[in-house]
Amino acid sequence: MTIEKYKIEEYNHQLMQEHQRKLDFIKDEVNGAEEILQKLMDFQVAIPSWALGTGGTRFGRFGGGGEPRSLEEKIEDIGLLHALNQSSGAISLHIPWDIPENANNIKALAAQNGLRFDAMNSNTFQDQPGQQLSYKFGSMQHVDKAVRRQAIEHNIEVIKYGVELGSTALTVWLSDGSCFPGQLHFRRAFQNTLDSLQQVYAALPDNWKMFVEYKAFEPNFYSTTVGDWGQSLLYATRLGEKAYTLVDLGHHLPNANIEQIVALLLMEGKLGGFHFNDSKYGDDDLTVGSIKPYQLFLIFNELVEGMDARGMNHATDLGWMIDASHNVKDPLEDLLQSVEAIMLTYAQALLADRKMLNEAQLQNDVVAAQEILQAAFRTDVRALVAEARMRAGGALKPLAVYRKEKVRENLIKQRGLKTVATGL
């Protein structure tokens, strides 16, 4: 199914008067509104192929129907999101869940939908049917060289698929670790992992990046071999200049200061990419901005400040991706909400008065610093984000159009009620 452009324009037209009033107000309030609008239009967030179906937990899964049954249908779904918000112009694939049978056709279909291929994701956290050796005790860390070899070869295969599709990054998330004290020799696990990663790194094309994603715990509950940003940074530094750390917002121990982590990784030129989501307890993979919107703002504040300090291009120099899972929401509605939350927060970070903040910091004026940040965070930028979306050809209110056009009902009609998308 597709949503015709004229339909979106019709809906926009109905809302125009109200929108214009709000836009005029905010344009009056902030400096450099046009510049912010352009940055918002340029900013694209990649949608993970595994987030288009219902996720579920180990206690069960309650499918919502009409889920994509193939890579083609996943691309179609993201095409729908992108038509509505014009900010989801990329897809992050997962091998083996999304093996492209015919790369040229898949590339053409993505292009038709205005999508490019962001980072490719490998999978050595599950055993696949017919797989020779098991990852039960790890993949790249494994004591058996043959298992490590298998994991390395899989990652090299993922790069090959990515090259065919025009992707330029590989995300490696390893579930390697241990469940009990004594199970693992930490240094040996680190060395084996480094050695394995080095062999994958050697197969990376020149224009590619490698993202090393860390995660505090789960599925291993005693130790994780890429468990925090320190370990990830250590691997990335040892690997070389094409290797970077990837920050997934849900992968920290409780109360970690993620904005500080981001600031330091940027300072070192080692921040490569992002997995946006939100969490209350752990790797909850909840809708972006649904639990801790102020934390998200503080992270974006550091991102904008740090990227500007290094002269980086906000839209292209980092890999912006969502990593989400949905238990009770329609996945597409959830993703619309997540992208919206990212754009709103990015806009707020763009309008923070950084010059004043810097002065306040130099004066040790703690109160002023807080006022400046919170003034930006409390600014209602919804009309700005909506305007950017409309100028790019999207909907002023994507979620409303999605519901009025009965997208899910139509997808269920087309694909059936009992569909299971491959993914987490």
Question: Considering only residues 237-276, where is the footprint of ligand AOS by CB under 6 A?
Answer: 248, 275
| Nearest-approach distance from CB 191 to Zn ion, in angstroms | 25
With CA atoms as reference, report the closest residue to 140 among 192, 209, 67: 192
**Does 415 help bind Zn ion (rule: CB under 5 A)?**
no
CB of 387 to ligand AOS, least distance (A): 33
Which position among 67, 98, 285, 305 is part of the footprint of Zn ion (CB under 5 A)?
Answer: 285
Smallest separation, CB 378 to Zn ion (Å): 30
Q: Which of ligand AOS, Zn ion, none binds 30 (CB below 5-8 Å, type-dependent)?
A: none
List 215, 252, 382, 389, residue binding ligand AOS (CB under 6 A):
215
Q: Is 37 or 246 the residue whose CB approaches ligand AOS more closely? A: 246
Using Cβ positions, the residue closest to ligand AOS within the complex turns out to be 173
Q: Strand (E) positions, 58-208?
A: 90-92, 116-117, 120-121, 169-173, 177-178
Considering the rule CB under 6 A, would residue 213 count as an interface residue with ligand AOS? yes
Contact 270, 245 (CB under 8 A): yes
Report DSSP state, residue 278.
Answer: B
CB 408 within 8 Å of CB 60 = no
- DSSP conformational letter for 166: T
What DSSP string runs through 254-273?
A: TT--HHHHHHHHHHTT-EEE
Least distance from C-beta 54 to ligand AOS, angstroms? 15
Answer whether 250's CB lies under 8 Å from 284's CB.
yes
Residues between 338 and 377 that touch ligand AOS (CB under 6 A)? none
Where in 316-355 is the site for Zn ion (CB under 5 A)? 323
Dmax (CA) of the chain: 67
Smallest distance from the beta carbon of 99 to ligand AOS, in angstroms?
A: 14
Nearest CB to ligand AOS, comparing residues 290 and 422: 422
Site for ligand AOS, residues 390 to 409, rule: CB under 6 A: none
Backbone angles phi, psi at 82, to 5 degrees: -65, -35
94 part of the interface to ligand AOS, by CB under 6 A: yes
State how far the Cα of 87 lies from the Cα of 386, in Å rounded to an integer: 11
80 vs 100: CA distance, rounded Å: 20
> Which backbone phi and psi does 147 adopt, to 5 degrees?
-70, -45
Size of site (CB under 5 A) for Zn ion: 5
Residue placing its CB nearer to Zn ion in the complex, 251 or 270: 251
Give the per-residue contact string, 206-245, with Zn ion (x = CB under 5 A; - = no): ----------------------------------------
CB of 346 to ligand AOS, least distance (A): 21
Minimum distance, C-beta of residue 11 to Zn ion, in the bound complex (Å) = 33
- Residues with Cβ within 8 Å of 78's Cβ and at least 6 positions away in sequence, in order, are 47, 52, 88, 91, 113, 115
> Using the rule CB under 5 A, is 275 a contact of Zn ion?
yes
> In terms of residues, how long is the chain?
424
| Cβ-proximal residues to 84 (8 Å cutoff; 6+ apart), any chain | 3, 8, 336, 394, 395, 398, 401, 402
- Residue 98 binds ligand AOS (CB under 6 A): no
Choice between 94 and 154, CB closer to ligand AOS: 94
Q: What is the rounded distance in angstroms from the CA atom of residue 42 to the CA atom of residue 313?
A: 10
Among 11, 50, 274, 300, binds ligand AOS (CB under 6 A): 50
Measure CA 1 to chain center: 25
Closest approach of Cβ 111 to ligand AOS, in Å?
24
DSSP state of 48: E
Q: CB count, 10 Å around CB of 260?
A: 13
Query: Can you give the binding site for ligand AOS, defined by CB under 6 A?
Result: 50, 94, 121, 123, 173, 213, 215, 248, 275, 283, 323, 424
Query: Can you give the binding site for Zn ion, defined by CB under 5 A?
Result: 248, 275, 283, 285, 323
